[in-house]
């Protein structure tokens, strides 16, 4: 377990096991207890999770999800198990499990059959992608 995970837990963020949080990640500074992160989640460098805005509250990131560098997760969003948020994406609505989203606002672009975990080879992940038309 890394120091970043320990410190965010101490702030009130609900964090599962084997979670990796990258450098310069911002997890809501005012209401960290509104964020729930599942097991084996990767949150890449400079991602931002905003858990509250007016009457919309909470963010849930499911097990085995991967949040790319610079992604922004907006309040009221649930990221499904095994979902992948591409780098720089702005997620404004819920992401189904085992789905890849990208863009601003983030849109579903593929279904993934392989979880993008810390031990997953890129080739393995790419071969498991199924485009959404």
- DSSP labels, 61-122: E-TT-EE-TT-EE-TT-EEPTT-EE-TT-EE-S-B-TTEEEETTTTEEEEEESS---TT--H
Contact predicate 81/74, CB 8 Å: no
* pTM value > 0.85: yes
CATH code of the region 3-131: 2.160.10.10
Residue 5 pLDDT more than 80? yes
Helix, coil or strand: residue 16: coil
Domain boundaries, the chain: 3-131
Quote the percentage of the chain above a pLDDT of 90. Answer: 88
pLDDT value for 65: 98
């Amino acid at each position: 377990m890394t120091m970043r995970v320990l410190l965010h837990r101490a702030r009130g963020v609900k964090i599962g096991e084997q979670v990796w949080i990258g450098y310069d990640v911002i997890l809501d500074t005012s209401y960290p207890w509104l964020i729930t992160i599942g097991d084996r989640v990767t949150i890449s460098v400079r991602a931002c999770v905003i858990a509250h805005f007016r009457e919309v509250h909470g963010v849930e990131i499911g097990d085995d999800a991967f949040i790319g560098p610079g992604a922004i997760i907006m309040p009221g969003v649930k990221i499904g198990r095994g979902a992948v948020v591409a780098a720089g994406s702005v997620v404004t609505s819920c992401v189904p499990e085992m789905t890849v989203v990208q863009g601003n606002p983030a849109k579903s672009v593929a279904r993934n059959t392989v979880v993008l975990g810390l031990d997953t080879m890129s080739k393995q992940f790419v071969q498991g992608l199924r485009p959404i038309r």
